């Protein structure tokens, strides 16, 4: 899973063909692996969040307390990044050729400042969406939240990343939207008796801002990989997995700092002691569930960034959203919520998610096949010349 680029020019034709085949195989393996990380992260996060809110007896609390604890959740979403540091050093830097080095140095001024600016802006965006998603999950429904997110990601992908939409991508987006609308996982953090606020002005703002920040950050990450990181001297025009870890560590570090400030400035840190004492299974389970959540968020984020690097921000979002009907099934199996079952709507949503993924994967398969056909054509022309 080290290098995602195609073959270097200039080699033997036969070996070029073989090397493209190998790099495509590696690429497919990496795509499936990152997709698996997103599904695993999404499932663990939702199961643990449900466990957390059930233990905290949220829905029976007074209304004021029902919306608290969101800085803590935002901090947890970002804070476990140090576990990625040893992994970062395990992945080597790509080998540099003299031409790429001279090319980098002549082309780029202030690469360090560009990278710093990229990580700081992404870190601030991550803190904003982590905080606001934690709040939005309590205020507005999951289905409408993630559907808005995919629509915004599609728009930003078109304008920022100049993504060309074709029929397979559009079919995939439509199936994903339908699947998420009907396949929402049950979430025990949602407060009861709050119908009046559901479509209030505040709820709309809480819907728009986190989705805007998250979708924008997906597209900026793609742009950052393509236009900033690959052009730095250390990556020398190559896309490698180490970039994903570097970006995730730096962005989470900045987001963690912002969330720490938010936690203390808002006074929410004073509630932590009470929260741990109220936890039905006791303090140890309180800490374990927060640690589990923090680790699961990192698994999810590495998968997400991996797909942004390998394919695009839009594809990463589609896979993240297609996990919802699957997560719903796990929540129904794991928790005995009395009014929750896996009825025809959710089964339909699961089918919709499978079709959405199939459509996007078919498109990717076609692009890879075209790459191979072009190489074969070149080979044929060369042998005739």
**Alpha-carbon distance 175 to 376, whole Å?**
35
| 4 vs 139 by CB, closer to ligand ADE | 139
**Alpha-carbon distance 243 to 305, whole Å?**
9
**Alpha-carbon distance 370 to 110, whole Å?**
37
The kind and range of the H/E element at 221 are helix 201-223
Q: Give the binding site for ligand ADE (CB under 6 A).
A: 77, 129-130, 133, 214
**Alpha-carbon distance 281 to 292, whole Å?**
15
**Alpha-carbon distance 317 to 218, whole Å?**
8
Report the Cα 62 to chain-centroid distance in Å: 33
Min dist. Cβ of residue 129 to ligand ADE (A): 5
Min dist. Cβ of residue 165 to ligand ADE (A): 22
Min dist. Cβ of residue 124 to ligand ADE (A): 14
| 291 vs 358 by CB, closer to ligand ADE | 291
Closest of 301, 282, 96, 128 to residue 208, by C-alpha:
128
| 128 vs 240 by CB, closer to ligand ADE | 128
Min dist. Cβ of residue 333 to ligand ADE (A): 21
Q: Are 263 and 68 in contact (CB under 8 A)?
A: no
| 75 vs 250 by CB, closer to ligand ADE | 75
| 131 vs 346 by CB, closer to ligand ADE | 131
**Alpha-carbon distance 34 to 293, whole Å?**
19
Min dist. Cβ of residue 244 to ligand ADE (A): 16
Q: Are 182 and 111 in contact (CB under 8 A)?
A: no
Min dist. Cβ of residue 99 to ligand ADE (A): 40
Closest of 325, 66, 298, 43 to residue 188, by C-alpha:
66
| 129 vs 182 by CB, closer to ligand ADE | 129
| 210 vs 352 by CB, closer to ligand ADE | 210
Min dist. Cβ of residue 142 to ligand ADE (A): 8
Sign of CA dihedral 228, 232, 237, 241: negative
Q: Are 313 and 219 in contact (CB under 8 A)?
A: yes
**Alpha-carbon distance 283 to 115, whole Å?**
41
């Amino acid at each position: 899973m080290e290098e995602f680029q195609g073959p270097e020019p200039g080699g033997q034709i036969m070996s070029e063909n073989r090397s493209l085949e190998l790099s495509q195989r590696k690429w497919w393996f990496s795509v499936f692996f990152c997709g698996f990380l997103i599904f695993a992260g999404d499932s663990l996060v939702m199961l643990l969040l449900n466990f957390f809110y059930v233990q905290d007896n949220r829905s029976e609390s007074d209304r004021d307390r029902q919306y608290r604890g969101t800085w803590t959740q935002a901090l947890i979403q970002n804070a476990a990044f140090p576990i990625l540091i040893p992994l970062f050093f395990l992945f080597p830097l790509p080998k540099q050729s003299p031409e790429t080095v001279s090319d980098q140095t002549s082309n780029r001024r202030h690469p360090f400042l560009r990278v710093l600016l990229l990580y700081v802006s992404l870190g601030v965006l991550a803190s904003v969406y982590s905080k606001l998603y934690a709040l939005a999950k309590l205020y507005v429904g999951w289905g409408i939240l993630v559907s808005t997110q995919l629509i915004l990601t599609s728009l930003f992908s078109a304008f920022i990343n100049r993504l060309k939409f074709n029929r397979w991508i559009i079919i995939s987006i439509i199936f994903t939207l339908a699947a998420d609308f009907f396949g929402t996982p049950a979430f025990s953090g949602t407060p009861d008796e709050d119908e009046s606020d559901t479509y209030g002005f505040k709820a709309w703002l809480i819907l728009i801002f986190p989705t805007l920040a998250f979708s924008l950050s997906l597209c900026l990450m793609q742009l950052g990989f393509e236009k900033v990181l690959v052009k730095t001297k250390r990556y020398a025009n190559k896309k490698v997995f180490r970039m994903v870890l570097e970006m995730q560590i730096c962005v989470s570090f900045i987001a963690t700092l912002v969330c720490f400030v938010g936690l203390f400035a808002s006074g929410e840190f004073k509630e932590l002691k009470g929260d741990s004492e109220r936890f039905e299974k006791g303090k140890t389970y309180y800490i374990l569930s927060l640690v589990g959540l923090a680790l699961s968020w990192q698994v999810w984020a590495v998968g997400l960034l991996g797909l942004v690097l390998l394919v695009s921000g839009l594809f990463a979002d589609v896979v993240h959203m297609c996990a919802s009907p699957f997560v719903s099934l796990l929540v129904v199996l794991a928790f005995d919520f009395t009014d929750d079952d896996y009825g025809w709507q959710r089964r339909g949503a699961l089918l919709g998610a499978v079709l959405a993924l199939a459509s996007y994967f078919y498109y990717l398969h076609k692009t890879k096949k075209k790459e191979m056909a072009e190489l074969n054509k070149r080979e044929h022309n060369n042998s005739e010349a």
